[in-house]
Amino acid sequence: MIVVVSDVHLGYEKCNKSDFLRFLDTNISKGVDHLVILGDLLDFWRFNNARIVVENADVLSKIVRLNVKNIHYVIGNHDYYMLKLNERYAGNYPFTISRSLRLEDGGNKFYFIHGYELEVLANLEPMSIEEYEKFSEMMCFTEDVIGWFASHVWDIVEGAESIAKHLKNMKKSPHDRKDIDKVYRLAVSEAAYVLLGMKPDEKLVFGHTHRPFITKKRNVANTGSWLSELKKEYQNSYVEISNGDMKLKFFK
């Protein structure tokens, strides 16, 4: 069995941290072969990185002590710096850290990404995915978004207008943003694999938008988030994969 969660945003005041801790205690058991953390577990965009790690040490300790065969950490835009830390410390973590992940279950192939790639492709042209990743890493070290933007705009001049729009939209929950609809349409397109480095027979699982869903064909799923700012029925969602079949679930 594969369990996939994303967008817990530890460090953010509207994070359902206590619910997530209970979820780890009750839903992640010996029968889970893979726990996939699909990005934005930590919200380094909000506060000092060390502060966020210290204040959420209980969650991180619980994760590494889980009775799970494999733990995978696919980085998101809000915790993108984890990738650089993994490079610095030569992979000496109790879980794998990567931009994407491929797993097989029940004869089906699955491709996991956080999903910021989809937003860049759908909404932020002419900015490239690489430029957005540079922006994301820098954002992990600032609490003054506007000040950072003014100081570093020349480094991303090709995407400056797109980033300015993106920063403005950050004030809204992704669940309420109209431009997220474009991300959905790209994700469910049969041709999305052309832009994402996927294989045509792989099923896509992503997060980022905070909009949980699963298609009728069960070939594309979004893991949603663990934030109290969403409507109650959209909170605390995750994806479970068993015998090759994906199911969207909610922790109550």
3-state secondary structure at position 174: helix
3-state secondary structure at position 193: helix
Q: Residue 151 corresponds to which amino acid?
A: S
Mean pLDDT of the chain: 88
> What is the rounded CA–CA span in Å between residue 170 and residue 192?
25
> What is the rounded CA–CA span in Å between residue 95 and residue 73?
7
Q: CA angle 243-247-250, nearest 5°?
A: 135
> What is the rounded CA–CA span in Å between residue 38 and residue 80?
12
Q: Which has more pLDDT, 178 or 125?
A: 125
Contact 247, 223 (CB under 8 A): no
Contact 69, 91 (CB under 8 A): no
Residue 130 has pLDDT above 70, yes or no: yes
Contact 23, 54 (CB under 8 A): no
- What band does 31 get if pLDDT is binned at 50, 70 and 90? confident
Helix (H) or strand (E) holding 204: strand 202-206
Q: Which has more pLDDT, 246 or 144?
A: 246
Contact 17, 227 (CB under 8 A): no
pLDDT of residue 172: 53
Q: Which two structure tokens, joined as six digits, stand for 233?
A: 């029925």
Q: Where are the domains of the chain?
A: 2-117+204-250
Percent of the chain with pLDDT over 70: 86
In the chain the first and final C-alpha atoms are separated, in Å, by 20
3-state secondary structure at position 116: helix
pLDDT tens digits along 139-156: 898 765 544 554 554 455
Contacting residues for 24 by C-beta, under 8 A, at least 6 apart:
59, 62, 63, 66
Question: What's the CATH number of domain 2-117+204-250, 3.40.50.1980, 3.40.50.920, 3.60.21.10, 3.40.50.300?
Answer: 3.60.21.10
pLDDT of residue 164: 59
Cα dihedral sign for 220, 1, 235, 61? negative
> Among 13-22, 84-93, 131-140, 164-173, whose mean pLDDT is lowest?
164-173
Q: Which has more pLDDT, 28 or 19?
A: 19
Q: Which two structure tokens, joined as six digits, stand for 243?
A: 């015998």
Residue 157 has pLDDT above 60, yes or no: no
pLDDT of residue 109: 98
- The string of DSSP letters for 49-108 reads HHHHHHHTHHHHHHHHTSS-SEEEEE--STTTHHHHHHHHTTT-SSSEEESEEEEEETTE
pLDDT of residue 154: 45
pLDDT tens digits along 204-243: 999 999 999 999 999 999 999 999 988 888 999 999 999 9
Strands 108-113 and 2-5: unpaired
pLDDT of residue 50: 93
Instruction: Report the pLDDT averaged over residues 45-67.
Output: 93
